[in-house]
Structure 1
Amino acid sequence: MAKVGIFFGTDTGNTRKVAKLIQKEFDDAELVAKPLNINRVEVDDLLAYDYLIMGTPTLGEGELPGLSTQCEAESWEEFLPKMEGTDFSGKKIALFGLGDQVSYASEFVDGLGELYDAFSDAGAELVGSWPNEGYDFESSQALDGDNFVGLVIDQDNQASQTSERVAKWVAQVKSEFSL
């Protein structure tokens, strides 16, 4: 079984595409499993991996995807309550988030911050922080000092930078995962 699991929530499919880019950048099918939508797994599926990469878009007023944000299917909003009481101690988790820094400048990638809080509270060791340089936004719940708590992608306004950002971040995460 692969050591790294990639899980994502999505509405439009952009987060799925980035998850696939991340998998491709690892370039090792034995090491990294195929990305899976969070609405198709159980908590035990996450616990089966040594290392996890989790991704989410931010929707509406800075929310995680889910039925209350008009998504067609369940997503992170419905999955996170299932994790209650689960211990992720000993797991290294890297996060990535998608957002629109122009249209949603005051809640840019807030969903990423929510994922960070959920997995941090569950005892996970979070890695993969990302500098906030090169982004133009007002505020974000995904900031920890001058860094985001994970990779930030803006497919709406900076799609041309996605491949380079993913490549740099995956190299960083490989090192932080000790792979």
Structure 2
Amino acid sequence: MNTIAIYFGTDTGRTRRVAKLIAQKLGMRAQPPLNINRVSVDAFLANQVLILGTPTYGAGQLPGRSVDLAQESWEEFLPRLQGRDLSGRTVALFGLGDEQKYPSEFVAALSLLRAAVLACGARVIGAWSAEGYSCKASPALIDGRFVGLALDPINQASLSEARIDAWLQQVLDELET
């Protein structure tokens, strides 16, 4: 299996911490995680297997300048992927949000990441059950499953590590199929 590239967007550092934990758990199977604002499109396209992470801002937005981040993030990077070919690549997604404060937008940015990589031809794996969450109306929910791992570090922090472990096992199993 190719090594797994892990890219994330962040402002507060929470998504970076999750990306680092994922990399640690994957060990030699993963490259060190990088903030997407430090990645060129060519470097991104050089990977066959990617894990992409994002928080959700405001009304379901990706991190970026329009939500007053000091640096560029997914919002600025994704348009650079338009028209690029990601066929043959596999992508798994994870997202952070607050399902109590923003129940209708919980991890909604995952749906934007998913749409962008699917439009470029990538295979997306790692859909995650909505069981155990109170959120029922997020754009990131399709048929009772989130389009990637959904984490709530505010209200369900104690569940995050076990969810990451289970999700990573699921992703590794899906990579084999």
Task: Tell me the TM-score range normalised by the shorter chain.
Answer: over 0.9
2:3 aligned residue:
3
d(CA) in 2 for partners of 1:49, 1:79: 16
Q: Residues 8 and 16 of structure 1 are in contact (CA less than 8 Å); yes or no, is this contact kept in structure 2?
A: yes
Give the match's secondary structure for 2:104: helix
Give the match's secondary structure for 2:18: helix
The amino acid that maps onto 1:107 is E
- Report deviation, 1:90: 0.3
- Report deviation, 1:178: 2.0
1:112 aligned residue:
110
Matched, 1:23 2:51: no
Stretches of structure 2 lacking an aligned partner (at least 5 in a row) = none
TM-score (norm 2): 0.96
- Report deviation, 1:27: 2.3
Among 100, 103, 106, the residue aligned to 2:101: 103
Matches within 5 A, 1:28-47: 28=28, 31-47=29-45
Q: Which runs of 4+ in 1 moved over 2 A?
A: none
Matched, 1:156 2:154: yes
Q: Deviations over 1:97-156 (max 9, x none)?
A: 001000001111110110011111110000000000111124211111111010000001
Stretches of structure 1 lacking an aligned partner (at least 5 in a row) = none
1:127 aligned residue:
125
d(CA) in 2 for partners of 1:42, 1:168: 31
d(CA) in 2 for partners of 1:9, 1:177: 23
Larger mean CA deviation between 116-125 and 42-51 belongs to 42-51
Q: Deviations over 1:26-61 (max 9, x none)?
A: 122xx2100000000111111211200000000011
